[in-house]
Amino acid sequence: MQDAGRLPFSQACENNKDAILKVLQQELQEYTHVLEVGSGTGQHSAYFAPNLPHLQWQTSDVIDNHHIIKAWHNAYPTSNLYAPLTFDLRTDALPKSVTGKLYDAVFTANTLHIIAWSLVENLFKLAAEALPTNGKLIIYGPFNENGHYTSASNQSFDLSLRQRDPSSGIRNKEDIIILAKQHHLTLGNQYQMPANNQILIFKKIKRLRAEE
Ligand SMILES: C[S@@+](CC[C@H](N)C(=O)[O-])C[C@H]1O[C@@H](n2cnc3c(N)ncnc32)[C@H](O)[C@@H]1O
């Protein structure tokens, strides 16, 4: 087992993990199999999986991050926590589950403002294709509302993101909701979270036969 004190560490994950967990405990009571997109350090998964023991928690990320995620999983092993699958949003399908079962929820934290808009579009498309009716896409992060920043700290964060990568930046919640609708994902509960973040819960709605 790796010395947990030496693991690559995200202070933001440490700060927000309890607040996110409370929402997941509420929203995922009836769910069984989650795919996490952009697992990052793996800290969230190592905390959420043991606290959501009814779920199978599948991590994923681009390959460069796998060694960090695995290090966290080695330090905090849990039987319902799965080693990262390689998943880059530039591809055309979600990674297949190692359990052979379908995911009924997709969770991602702090990714939409990092990736280009075309990859945000791909995330919604792929999640909608993979999720069953009533499956949930759960998104945590900062959002703008009505075209405005929700705080001065989000504004300076957005400017720093765009300076580093012009295709990144905090997304408008309204654009996300329109994109979701295009993929038959409808906005359900919304949660205001600490540090000017939010959680948006999208649910896959049943399509009428004529639409298929
Ligand atoms: C700011 S980190 C967030 C990590 C973690 N979810 C958290 O909340 O701390 C953004 C994540 O998006 C992932 N990412 C960036 N580009 C990606 C892509 N093209 N496909 C999939 N994941 C990507 C990064 O590897 C990283 O894990």
Read off the pLDDT of residues 23-48 as tens digits, 9 standing for 90 and up: 999 999 999 999 999 999 999 999 99
Read off the pLDDT of residues 143-168 as tens digits, 9 standing for 90 and up: 999 999 999 999 999 999 999 999 99
For the Cβ of 10 lying below 6 angstroms from any atom of ligand 1, the answer is yes
User: Which residue puts its alpha carbon closest to atom 16 of ligand 1?
Assistant: 115
Mean per-residue pLDDT of the chain: 95
Average pLDDT over residues 48-68: 98
How far away, in angstroms, is 111 Cα from ligand 1 center? 5
Contacts 24+ apart (CB under 8 A), 90-96: 90/119, 90/122, 92/122, 92/126, 93/126, 93/129, 93/130, 94/35, 94/126, 94/127, 94/129, 94/130, 95/35, 95/60
Find all residues with CB under 8 Å of 2, minimum gap 6, and list them. Answer: 71, 74, 75
Residue appearing with tokens 């460069």: 64
For the Cβ of 197 lying below 6 angstroms from any atom of ligand 1, the answer is no
Average pLDDT over residues 167-184: 98
**Domains of the chain: total:** 1
Residue 107: give the domain boundaries: 4-211
How far away, in angstroms, is 182 Cα from ligand 1 center? 24
Average pLDDT over residues 97-110: 95
Any idea what the CATH number is for the domain that residue 22 is in? Answer: 3.40.50.150
How far away, in angstroms, is 208 Cα from ligand 1 center? 34
Angle value at C-alpha 89, between 8 and 170, nearest 5 degrees? 75
Pick the atom of ligand 1 nearest to 108's CA: 6
Pick the atom of ligand 1 nearest to 114's CA: 10
User: Which residue puts its alpha carbon closest to atom 24 of ligand 1?
Assistant: 38
pLDDT for 209 beyond 90: no
